[in-house]
Amino acid sequence: MRVRPIGVTILALLLALNPVVYVALAALAVFNHGTLVAVLHALSPSGAGPETMHTAMGRIQPFYYSAWRFLVVPLPWAFGGCVTGRGLSCWG
């Protein structure tokens, strides 16, 4: 049985945090839009990043973040099986 590289495990654990981030962004979009705009501006202060696109969404922003929350759930499992090693990729 091959040992899975540590980098794969680290990336799978980071991917497992994606849904939490999208839930936080959706909550900010609903309850405190000004803070969301400030966070997006901090991520791309020059305006060349995601801020322009995300703020242009308007009222569909919470739905966008909620949809991505469900789309990214299987990524850590498929990428490396998170910690259990039972993902789609064959490491052992």
Q: How confident is the model at residue 3 (pLDDT cuts 50, 70, 90)?
A: confident
Residue type for position 34: G
10 Å CB burial of residue 6 (0-12, 13-18, 19+) is exposed
The pTM of the whole model exceeds 0.85: no
Q: How confident is the model at residue 32 (pLDDT cuts 50, 70, 90)?
A: very high
Please state the rounded mean pLDDT for residues 75-92.
56
| Alpha carbon distances (Å) from 15 to 19, 34, 43, 80, 81 | 8, 27, 19, 10, 11
Q: Where are the domains of the chain?
A: 6-80
Is the pLDDT higher at 48 or at 68?
Answer: 68
